[in-house]
Structure 1
Amino acid sequence: MRTTPEILQRQWNSIDYKDGGFLQIDTKHPLEWHIGYQSISQKTLLLVCATDIGTIESSRSMAVTRRKRETDNRWALSFELLRNEQEGVFAILCSDIIEHSRSASNEKEALTLVISRYKQWSRLLESQRSGLMDESSRKGLLGELLFLQERIEEGDSALTAIQGWVGADGADQDFVYEDGWHEVKSVGASATSVTISSLEQLDCAGEGELVIMRIDKAAPDKAGALSLNDAVSQISGNLTGASDALDLFRSKLSTYGYLDLQEYSEQKYYCSGSQRFGVNDTFPRLVRQNVPTQVESLHYELSLPSLAGWLKG
């Protein structure tokens, strides 16, 4: 049985923090798990094992403590929530760490998976306090993944295609290749405008493209619908023989703020089509050169029907 965030939350709610002690959970897991409170507001996840646990650094979000128990000489490792504003995601984190290590064949392997997953979560929570991407970010990432998949299917080597995904690393444009740059925007099927979020987004040397991906939420059984995790799995599956490309892909996903969480499998989306607009000197855009120097930043909307003159066939 899967340990879900909802199950964990109910179990935490059943504990009277004043009584102290911890509640053992998930007895069929390779590791021994307990949950409890350090104080009224500090939820804690605790694992116990015979395997020696090395030093693990705490983060600003979680205090990680290891100790050897005198009663049985086993090791205890606890994860304690420090930021109250992240309480909502802590149950998701704990559930994910437990499930991520469930498939291990032995205790040592399970512990290695736990520590590795904690480090991924720690990096994620430093940059993204909620831990989960919001709806706009999920659709945005899905649009970029669909575009990346197209590049690979059209003949780019997997490594070249992924190296060109520079937006994942914080660049102003999403993709940059020898044939030009590409800014990908995910909007609904009926959207008539698109938001440009900075002066730099459509400002790059040479001609480029504004790529519109028409993406909406869909019923789970709709033909062609896929979740965010589905899109990641499809690309990863095509990279099984290209370890360098797969490692780089995973690294960029992590930098983007993505982890393969169950929550990203639940909602399905459907891409009903795409449009490509050529961005050249005549394209209606705001860039550093054509706005007053006093303007430091801005975002604006472009009318999609009005861009028909730049629509590519």
Structure 2
Amino acid sequence: MLDRNFEDIFNTLLSDIIAHVIDLSDPRQMIRQFLNRVDKWHALLEKATANGLTPEEQRGLFGEIFLLRKLITSLPEAEKALLAWVGPEKAPRDFQYGGCALEVKTSHGNNHQRIHVSNERQLDTSTIEQLYIFHLSIESQQSAGESLNDLVDSVSLALQDDFKLTSHFRFKLAQGGYLPAHRELYADKGYIVRAETFYEVKGSFPRIEESDLRPGVGDVRYSIIISDCATYQINELTVYQNLNQVW
């Protein structure tokens, strides 16, 4: 099993390298890109742990990929949706392309009415034109619902006709801590979606922005009672239409 795990990781790494050099004709550029991708994978694998993602990390990644799948199937260009997915890169927001961003908040159990904001920049709109929150409310169950593996496989299936996009998706997964060697760890846990809602962050939306902080204050974490944000709900189709204009 260990050898198979290494084989899966090697195949993913090899596909990523090929996707980044296949269109290059200059041997020097090919060598630079090859070494660049090897360095990136080396850094990723050094950070990976044998225990895989924590339950909280699994839910967070599930929410991001759940929205990615919706964007891939709803927007004209799947590539734009995949390029916009910057959550695995630890960016301030999970999706951003141009002046429009989306932040995914996944809640479960008894925490459906509250979402957590990890820093003061996450819901700050001073540097972007549009910002939306996608709130996904889920229940975790053993051997029921859609697993993280199922979700990953469904996106891979949607991208299967484009080698470069498939390779890019796999690299993003690795950035997010999801490796083929860990699939068995996520096989039995499924998620049932209770609700999914979009909100537009604007005006007096309850949040803390960077400009609200006194000098010397940073790394602010806080929570929002999502039921108090009902007036900021926005239709899903409207979000896609707005994204299509910007992305």
- TM-score in terms of structure 1 length: 0.60
User: What secondary structure, in the 3-state scheme, does the structure 2 residue paired with 1:195 have?
Assistant: strand
Mapped partners of 1:252, 1:118: distance in 2:
11
- Where does 1:1-313 land on structure 2 (aligned, <5 Å)? 95=1, 97-100=2-5, 113=7, 116=10, 123-124=43-44, 126-129=46-49, 131-177=51-97, 180-188=100-108, 190=110, 191-204=112-125, 205-220=128-143, 222=144, 225-260=145-180, 261-313=183-235
CA-to-partner distance for each residue in 1:157-214, whole Å, 9 max, x for gaps? 2211100101222211101145721000110265211110111111241121111101
What is aligned with 1:54?
A: none
Larger radius of gyration: 1
- TM-score in terms of structure 2 length: 0.75
Distance 1:131 1:122, change over 3 A: farther
Distance 1:115 1:276, change over 3 A: closer
Q: Greater strand percent: which structure?
A: 1
Gaps of 5+ in 1: 1-94, 102-112
What is aligned with 2:27?
A: none
**Contact preservation (8 Å) 2:99, 2:129:** no
Gaps of 5+ in 2: 14-37, 236-247
How far has the Cα of 1:151 moved from its partner?
0.5
| Count of matched residue positions in the alignment of Structure 1 and Structure 2 | 204
CA-to-partner distance for each residue in 1:117-164, whole Å, 9 max, x for gaps? 798996555324454110010000001111001011113322111001
Q: Greater helix percent: which structure?
A: 2
CA-to-partner distance for each residue in 1:84-126, whole Å, 9 max, x for gaps? xxxxxxxxxxx4x33337xxxxxxxxxxx38827989965553
User: What secondary structure, in the 3-state scheme, does the structure 1 residue paired with 2:195 have?
Assistant: strand
Q: Which has the higher contact order (CA 8 A, sep 6+)?
A: 2
How far has the Cα of 1:227 moved from its partner?
0.8
User: What secondary structure, in the 3-state scheme, does the structure 2 residue paired with 1:216 have?
Assistant: strand
Percent identical among aligned pairs is 25
Distance 1:303 1:167, change over 3 A: same
